[in-house]
A and B are shown apart, each in its own frame.
Chain A
Amino acid sequence: MAHLSNSQRVVITGLSIVSPLGNTIAELTRNVFSGVSGIKRLNMPFVDEMDCKIAAQAQFDPANHFSKHTYSMLDRTSQIALYTSVEAIKDANLIIDDAMKPRMGIYLGTGMGGAQSIEDGYVRLYKEGASRLKPFTVLMSMNNAAASAIALEHQLTGPNQTFSTACSSSAVAIGEASRLIRHGYADVMLAGGTEALLTFGTMKAWEALRTLAEEDVDDIGASCKPFSVDRTGLVLGEGSAMLVLESYEHAVTRGAKIYAEIAGYGAANDCNHITQPSVSGQSATMQAALNDADLSANAIQYINAHGTGTKLNDITETNSIKKVFGSHAYELSVSSTKSMHGHLMGAAGALEAVITTLAVHSNTLPPTINLAHPDLECDLDYVPNHSKTLTKLEYAMSNSFAFGGTGAALILKKLN
């Protein structure tokens, strides 16, 4: 379906991250286009009890950024989201006045919500035998805690929703937020994702799924190898990424800088298996985004792939791209930045949308690192190991596919 005839164009005017590749856009830009890995030995007290001892952790201490009172009432997943909301608004140079507050909201994605808080509660109940829990346990662990904290901080009285569709959560949040603006329900939206799931219980649960990458004993940073024949799985990561979305008219009126335009958003479901992706589901997702943007497949020059580094995903995504793009699949470029920042689950789509925005803004494609031995079944241009600069990058797609089957694709456009 093409845009509504009276729709607003939606642009990105602010970006912010807390990530395994740094906590500023400048750090992220430097690292992601230089092929730096954020995957390291897990720095947690429980590491010795893990089979999987690697992760992509964000080097971020929230205690340095919040009052003790605020800090004590928020799970890490909310702390990093709140921080990125403040920084994104600063980056957008946005002054939120009383007139704007009802026309501005927050759509956020998270897979596991306040994982540490719920786990702390269980430890207290089941291990320590406590008869009651901390009064803030519910308020810290509920999935909408982060979005609520952000709305409260900035007094945003517009729409506030939290999307939880596993690994596509924040791509869905960004897409749905862009539709709100497009259809006139809001002028400005914070949209993004947050995830802080590097807890003992959560990591153990992920271990049990047997999708986590084996540690590369020669180079821990090379443990995630998307599209490589020797890939062994994904590496868990944590972080938050936030975008300020704005109607084009609103942004231009206030003289905002514009990184890129959100030209399309598509969502679809596999309906195949709870964990196994399908070509039909993934291709339907990408096609829906193209239809939404009213674009032919040939317009897309770059895809930031979901690219988890699991055996199944990378072949399925490759075949899905071929199905949607035909012969053009061999002309466009694809990369998986998860090779560097790991898999941020509910925040993955947002971080990758930020990276894709930076790519469009700078005409530079981030690499897939650790791709020395390509899988013959993965035969596209995955921008191996080094970034690539184009004369002009006009349209790029960012893919997110999730356990449960929900896929989401965003199309970013250079603003003309």
Chain B
Amino acid sequence: MTINEKKIPSVEEVSNALAKMIADKMEIDITTVLPESNLQELGLDSLDTFDIIFSAEDYFKIKVPNDQVKITTLQDVAVLVHQLILSQKS
């Protein structure tokens, strides 16, 4: 995976990148990782979720404030990360 640092990714592109991170980490079929997927139901515990947030920080070059990590679905993460990309790159 690579990121074009000059281009702001769409929510869908963020979601796709996160889905790949989750599928790789949890060794599950990426087609089962859908935007509406509940992360807990995918097998991620709270530490796994923080690990994915951590990976997203590295990948998208952003910082996720701890008090904003209130996540249940992939879509929640994607929207949060997308907002942070917009705010922290503007």
Q: Mark A residues whose CB is within 8 Å of B.
A: 67-69, 72, 131-132, 134-136, 139
Contact = CB atoms under 8 A, between A and B. Distances in A.
A139 B26 CA distance: 18
Interface string B27-44: 100000000000000010
Given A132-B54, A134-B54, A68 B25 contact: yes
A131 B63 contact: yes
A69 B26 contact: yes
Contact of A135 (B25, B27, B54): B54
Given A68-B27, A72-B25, A136 B63 contact: no
A135 B57 CA distance: 13
Contacts of B51: 134-136
B64 to A, nearest CB: 9
22 contacts: A67-B27, A68-B24, A68-B25, A68-B27, A69-B25, A69-B26, A69-B27, A69-B43, A69-B48, A72-B25, A131-B63, A132-B54, A132-B57, A134-B51, A134-B54, A135-B47, A135-B50, A135-B51, A135-B54, A136-B47, A136-B51, A139-B47
A308 B54 CA distance: 43
By Cβ-Cβ distance, the 7 closest A-B pairs, closest first, are A135-B50, A68-B27, A135-B47, A135-B51, A67-B27, A69-B26, A134-B54
Contacts of A135: 47, 50-51, 54
Nearest to B24: A68
Nearest to A131: B63
Nearest to A133: B54
Contacts of B24: 68
A405 B53 CA distance: 45
Interface of B: 24-27, 43, 47-48, 50-51, 54, 57, 63
Given A67-B27, A68-B27, 12 more contacts: A68-B24, A68-B25, A69-B43, A69-B48, A132-B54, A132-B57, A134-B54, A135-B50, A135-B54, A136-B47, A136-B51, A139-B47
B32 to A, nearest CB: 15
Nearest to A67: B27
Contacts of A68: 24-25, 27
Contacts of B48: 69
B66 to A, nearest CB: 9
B55 to A, nearest CB: 9
Contacts of A69: 25-27, 43, 48
A68 B48 CA distance: 13
A132 B51 CA distance: 12
Contacts of B63: 131
Nearest to B55: A134
Nearest to B51: A135
B4 to A, nearest CB: 22
Contacts of A131: 63
A131 B57 CA distance: 11
Nearest to A139: B47
B49 to A, nearest CB: 9
A149 to B, nearest CB: 14
Contacts of A134: 51, 54
A327 to B, nearest CB: 60
A135 B55 CA distance: 10
A77 B13 CA distance: 38
A139 B46 CA distance: 13
Contacts of B50: 135
A134 B27 CA distance: 19
Nearest to A135: B50
Contacts of B26: 69
A66 to B, nearest CB: 11
A70 to B, nearest CB: 10
A134 B50 CA distance: 8
B9 to A, nearest CB: 22
A136 B54 CA distance: 11
Nearest to B57: A132
A69 B24 CA distance: 9
A139 B50 CA distance: 13
A120 B47 CA distance: 18
Nearest to B49: A135
B81 to A, nearest CB: 16
A135 B43 CA distance: 17
Contacts of A136: 47, 51
B1 to A, nearest CB: 16
A59 B26 CA distance: 26
Contacts of A67: 27
